[in-house]
């Protein structure tokens, strides 16, 4: 897929890429509408239709990911609702070996997520993901989400890296293409972001369904032997 000797930095999405997207899908598509139905005394079907319309209205913007925005829109304590359902937050089982292999190769591991900082903190607390990363950024820090090319310029100014020696991994092909447009040389999609749903296809980017496919390419044992030799 690519030559690891040409990569210094790996940028990683979180939800659906390092964490199972099942939690977020169930939270926003089931738990939130259920709470809305109880609060407004409407049917679950009506609540789902209402929320689907509201989600669509801000898709691709920072508000889509903003807990403050959704707390205001729904009149629900979204943070507490997330905490109440946090047992569903889970790392993908193939992630840690891959991140450890990157560390052994001295490749910088940078988390770049659209998740709100409070949601990010909750997920780190439940998974210990931070132990396997070198840098962690929420796009809320930059005022733009990954759907905007402005985010990439802001990230580069704050955290210098060489786009031509960088790999970006995300479960959203649209975001991979925007990163490529910015100048990120290598991009890889995740075909199975939600463990409860069928795999999806990527049309314009290489994609995997198991990080072992990338870990094997790192060939850490061989590299270590070369260094020791």
**Per-residue model confidence (pLDDT) at position 1:** 72
* More confident of the two residues 2 and 101: 101
User: Do 80 and 191 share a domain, yes or no?
Assistant: no
User: Do 11 and 124 share a domain, yes or no?
Assistant: yes
How confident is the prediction for the chain on average, in pLDDT? 94
CATH code assigned at 175: 3.40.50.1000
pLDDT, average across residues 65-94 = 96
Whose CA is closest to 139, among 151, 147, 156? 151
Neighbours of 126 (CB within 10 A): 17
User: Do 215 and 133 share a domain, yes or no?
Assistant: yes
**Per-residue model confidence (pLDDT) at position 224:** 42
Domain of residue 12 covers 4-20+90-228
Report how far residue 61's alpha carbon sits from residue 70's, in angstroms, rounded to the nearest whole number: 13
Report how far residue 15's alpha carbon sits from residue 44's, in angstroms, rounded to the nearest whole number: 26
User: Do 39 and 103 share a domain, yes or no?
Assistant: no
Q: Tens of pLDDT along 156-195?
A: 999 999 999 999 999 999 999 999 999 999 999 999 999 9
């Amino acid at each position: 897929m690519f030559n690891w000797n040409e990569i210094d930095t790996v940028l990683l999405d979180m939800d659906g890429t390092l964490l199972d997207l099942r939690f977020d899908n169930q939270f926003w598509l089931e738990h939130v509408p259920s709470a809305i139905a109880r609060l407004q005394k409407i049917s679950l079907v009506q609540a789902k239709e209402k929320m689907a319309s509201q989600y669509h209205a801000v898709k691709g913007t920072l508000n889509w990911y903003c807990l403050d925005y959704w707390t205001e829109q729904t009149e629900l304590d979204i943070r507490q609702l997330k905490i109440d359902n946090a047992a569903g937050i889970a790392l993908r089982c193939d992630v840690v070996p891959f991140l450890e292999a990157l560390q052994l190769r001295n490749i910088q591991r940078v988390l770049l997520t659209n998740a709100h900082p409070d949601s990010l903190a909750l997920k780190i607390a439940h998974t210990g993901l931070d132990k396997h990363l070198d840098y962690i950024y929420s796009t809320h820090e930059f005022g733009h989400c990954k759907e905007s090319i402005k985010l990439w310029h802001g990230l580069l100014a704050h955290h210098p890296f060489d786009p031509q020696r960088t790999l970006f991994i995300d479960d959203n092909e649209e975001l991979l293409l925007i990163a490529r447009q910015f100048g990120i040389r290598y991009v890889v999609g995740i075909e199975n972001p939600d463990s409860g749903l069928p795999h999806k296809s990527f049309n314009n980017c290489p994609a995997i369904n198991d990080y072992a496919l990338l870990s094997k390419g790192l060939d850490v044992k061989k590299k270590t032997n070369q260094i020791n030799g």
